[in-house]
Amino acid sequence: MKNTIKFLTLALLTGAFSCAEPKDELAEKKKQLDSFKSEAAALKVSIEELEEEISRLDPEFRKNQRKSVLITTAQPDRGNFEHFVEVTGSVLSKKNVNISAELSGRIEEIVTREGMSVKKGEVIARIDAESVDRSIAEIQTQMELARTVFEKQERLWEQQIGTEMQYLEAKNRLETLEKNLASLELQRDRTTVRAPFNGTVEELLVRVGELVQPGSPIVNLIGEDDLFIEGDISERYIGILERGDSVNIRFPSIDKSLKTKVTAIGSVINPDNRTFKVEVFLPRMDLVKPNMLSVLNIKDYENPEAVTVPTYLILQDNRGSYVFVVEEGMARKKYVERGMTFKGETEILEGLDGSETLVDKGFREVGDNFNVNIAS
């Protein structure tokens, strides 16, 4: 029994020592790795410092030390550069009116319906004209008597019978009734509401049987001609935009475009959004309807001899904007003065003359005086 206990104790101690040995070895390796990393970091700093000192004494050393960066190149564009202000506009009509009743009465008939196109003079609605018809019938009866009296009085006056006053009174009575009849017939004609121009019935504002008064709107009519586009422009463009400026218009919903001009510029600033109105002439176009959305590109700047580069190639540092150009197989930092930007192209006012070779793909991997290898 004692021998068995001794054997078990010895086995346990042997196992403990065998497990401890790998753990101590792993900890030692980790410690050694940390030491190597510290030495490598210190050595790297020393190498960089030494390279910098040598480069100051020998500029060719830096050039030879750097690896070439594979790049592609591009040329600046030289030619006409145009800048446009892009705003959203809405198609409007100068003939957007409410057609109103001209006399009192009850709506007897509505001939048109919403969305219907009508021609000038076409009947839109009719107002009950019963009271006017009765007045006309009464006047016509009075006129028959007045005409008979006048004709008799005229014959007597030709025979020098009776007085001139009797003749003039009979004549005046007949003429007054004729004028009253003409006035009533005009009123009866106005009970028929007609379209004053070619257009589309946008909305019916009354129903059959409703009573209307003079000035009561009956239908909203929008003319098919005299369309224009109105947009809101930021006040920062005051004095820049002028009448006659070129405008490119695009209608996203029908995929149509055209070129026209600014016809009017507002003189009042909207205090809510700090904008002013711009009106653009719109020629007649199929499918273009009032209130349709449009995109206006109004030209506010043009330089016929501009130097332009892709906007994404222009970088920025504390000194200003710059691009990389290729000179003698190396990338050189070239500072530039930027002008207008439109559709991914930026005008360069100073720094480039258009003959340079720009670093295109790979421009973010290069630095000043980096060796470059141009991909074929």
For 317, the token pair is: 């540092």
pTM of this structure:
0.51
Q: Which residues contact 369 (CB under 8 A, 6 or more apart)?
A: 62, 63, 330, 331, 332
How many angstroms separate the CA atoms of 266 and 277, rounded?
5
Token pair 């002439």 is found at: 281
| Range 117-130 average pLDDT | 86
pLDDT score, position 62? 61
Rg (CA), the chain: 47
* Higher-confidence position of 8 and 240: 240
Please give the distance of CA 64 from its chain centroid, rounded to a whole number. Answer: 54
| pLDDT of the residue at 346 | 94
Tokens of 361: 């793909």
For 336-363, the pLDDT digits (tens) are: 999 999 989 999 999 999 899 999 998 8
Q: Is 197 helix (H, G, I), strand (E, B) or coil?
A: coil
- Which pLDDT score, from 0 to 100, does residue 80 have? 93
Q: Which tokens in the block code for residue 202?
A: 């946008």
Reported as a pLDDT band with limits 50, 70 and 90, residue 39 is confident
**How many Cβ atoms sit within 10 Å of the Cβ of residue 278?**
25
Q: Is the pLDDT score of 10 beyond 80?
A: no
- pLDDT for 300 equals 82
Whether the CB-CB separation of 293 and 253 falls below 8 Å is answered with yes
As given in the structure block, the two tokens for residue 256 are: 């149509």
